[in-house]
Structure 1
Amino acid sequence: MIIFTRELKRNRKSFIIWTASLVLFNILMMSFYQSIAENTEMYDKMVMEFPRAMIEAFGLDKISMSTILGFFGTECYIFITLFGSIYAMLLGASTLSREEGEKTIEFLLAKPVTRSTIVTEKAANAFSLITLFNLIFSIVNFLMFDAVKIDDYSTRALLLLSLGPLLLHLTFTSIGLLISVFVVKAKAVYPVSIGFVLFMYFISIMSSISEKLTNLKYLTPFKYVDAPDIIMNERIEPVYLAIMFAVIAISLAATYVLYNRKNIQGV
């Protein structure tokens, strides 16, 4: 577990920054809920003046900001899913590439460890950090819900709104791990990772506002854990769960195979 512990220390600072930033932002946004709930009619009228495409893109035609779940789904959920996914993708994409980029791979492989062991411990570290990231966010979120709620809400829906981002982030982490086999320069990790996540989010938006493009929802993980659908149906569709687990499994398997076959310069 030497590699696992080493990775925890290397990723500690970025983990604290990302977690603290998103948690504090969520606390700030949730603190506005009561004032918005007291002026429901005004906000409903304001929402109706938005372009139809914008209303459909953010699910404002399905949920209302007058409820605490609806408010969270429209105002806060996008940040934990989008920015959390960027963090997950960056974490995964830098996991293996960092060693080559920092020229420390030769030292690591000189030790009595196999490449499979390197992948296992580094992947375990990335998944552990993402799980802890979501756990902290979820605990704080539950506390905020109880602090600012006006009416009762569905605990099941809130649990699913906590599970959804976790699965989403693990999916992007696994894809990032696979990408880290090919992208070895630190300067390339950021544009590739951020660009991929934003492209997936763009596809999600397009599938929401255009009936002709609705089938694109199967290509983007963001639609698998869409807040309005989770709040309305109180479940994550089995087909979406299956796709996410399949992507995670395939990405991990491909990472093991390709990294073991990779010709690492200098080794």
Structure 2
Amino acid sequence: MTAIIFRELKDNRKGFLIWVVAMLGLVAIAAGEYPVVVESGDAIMALLETIPRIMLIAYGMVGMETIPINSPLGYYLGMYMWCSLVAFTHAAVLGTTIIAKEERNRTAEFIFTKPYPRKTIIKGKIIAAVLNVAAMTLTAIIANIGMLATQAKGESILGAIGITMLAMFLIQVLFLSVGMLLAARCKSNKRALSISVLFVLTSYVLMVIIEYVGTVDFLGFLTPFLYFPGAALVEKGFNIFYILLTIIIAAVSCHFTLSMYQRRDLHN
């Protein structure tokens, strides 16, 4: 299985590097704008009061009524949403492509005629995908500490980075597992990929709608974006229900990925 894992990591390195550059670029832009936001604190806060609430929610400022955006913590939590969007989309796309790429590239006969059971090959792909997701999380941690936390004066945001990045990793695994399940279920790789990306976008839109309505918070389980919102994590910590729900969704998705792919007719 080790050979399969390393092969998958090697095959996915180019795509992974593109997403890493996207994450680093996002954090770099945020870090570059941070001094301007701090210096114009009062003006920024006054401007935010004129922006429609739905826009504030869409920009990741949900639940931050007591955390000023011009503070180091507030600014980081505002950017956490955008880091999450990049990470979650990467995870969903990776889950789809890592399972179905042999059929897409017409090389299914090459790998599936190796002296490994199909179940072992899929397990190796799952492990490699989780390692990719972990590496993306580590990239986000290093970038936020190196570019943003170092500028925070008088307030440490290392604790907030730690807890939110752990949450981001868990949700990445969820999106990853759903992407793999879609790849195993759909006959067309393009269709599976489209549904995976649509799942991420729909989850984001649902988050905006639920937070904007405000009276349907009990529907938060419908969107992974509301499992571990940044501000709630920092103030209250993890919600055990959503930890269990995330684990269950990921485990069930991986189980059905394995079972479906073992019965799948591969097309070269």
TM over 0.5: same fold? yes
Cα offset for 1:227?
1.3
Alignment correspondent of 2:29:
28
Alignment correspondent of 2:239:
237
Query: Which stretch shows the higher mean deviation, 3-12 or 172-181?
Result: 3-12
Cα offset for 1:172?
0.5
Alignment correspondent of 1:16:
17
Q: How does 1:14-163 map to 2 (within 5 A)?
A: 14-56=15-57, 58-59=61-62, 60-74=64-78, 76-163=79-166
TM-score by length of 1: 0.92
1:7 and 2:8 aligned: yes
| Contact 1:204–1:220, Cα closer than 8 Å, also in 2 | yes
Alignment correspondent of 2:257:
255
TM-score by length of 2: 0.92
Q: After superposition, give the CA deviation of every residue in 1:58-95 in whole Å (9 maximum; x if it has no partner).
A: 31534321211110111x21221112111110000112
| Contact 2:171–2:224, Cα closer than 8 Å, also in 1 | yes
Aligned pair count reads 264
Q: What 5-or-longer segments of structure 2 have no aligned partner?
A: none
Paired residue type of 1:63: I
- Aligned equivalents of 1:122, 1:160: Cα separation in 2: 27
Instruction: Give aligned-pair identity as a percent.
Output: 25
Query: Which stretch shows the higher mean deviation, 101-110 or 39-48?
Result: 101-110
- Aligned equivalents of 1:56, 1:142: Cα separation in 2: 25
Cα offset for 1:56?
4.7
Q: How does 1:216-235 map to 2 (within 5 A)?
A: 216-233=219-236, 235=237
CA RMSD of aligned residues (A): 1.8
| Contact 1:177–1:252, Cα closer than 8 Å, also in 2 | yes
Paired residue type of 1:113: Y
Cα offset for 1:244?
0.8
| Contact 2:4–2:121, Cα closer than 8 Å, also in 1 | yes
Paired residue type of 1:70: G
Query: Which stretch shows the higher mean deviation, 172-181 or 19-28?
Result: 19-28
Q: 1:210 aligns with which of 193, 208, 213?
A: 213
Instruction: Classify 1:139/1:199 alpha carbon distance in 2 versus 1 (closer, same or farther; 3 Å).
Output: same
- Aligned equivalents of 1:10, 1:64: Cα separation in 2: 43
- Aligned equivalents of 1:246, 1:116: Cα separation in 2: 20
Instruction: Classify 1:4/1:161 alpha carbon distance in 2 versus 1 (closer, same or farther; 3 Å).
Output: same
| Contact 2:99–2:183, Cα closer than 8 Å, also in 1 | yes
Query: Which stretch shows the higher mean deviation, 43-52 or 151-160?
Result: 151-160
| Contact 2:5–2:127, Cα closer than 8 Å, also in 1 | yes
Query: Which stretch shows the higher mean deviation, 109-118 or 62-71?
Result: 62-71
Paired residue type of 1:217: G
- Aligned equivalents of 2:47, 2:38: Cα separation in 1: 14
- Aligned equivalents of 2:238, 2:55: Cα separation in 1: 23
Q: After superposition, give the CA deviation of every residue in 1:199-232 in whole Å (9 maximum; x if it has no partner).
A: 0111111111113432221111111121121233
Q: Say which SS state the counterpart of residue 32 (structure 1) adopts.
A: helix
Instruction: Classify 1:138/1:172 alpha carbon distance in 2 versus 1 (closer, same or farther; 3 Å).
Output: same
Query: Which stretch shows the higher mean deviation, 174-183 or 124-133?
Result: 174-183
Q: Say which SS state the counterpart of residue 225 (structure 1) adopts.
A: coil
Alignment correspondent of 1:166:
169
1:264 and 2:263 aligned: no
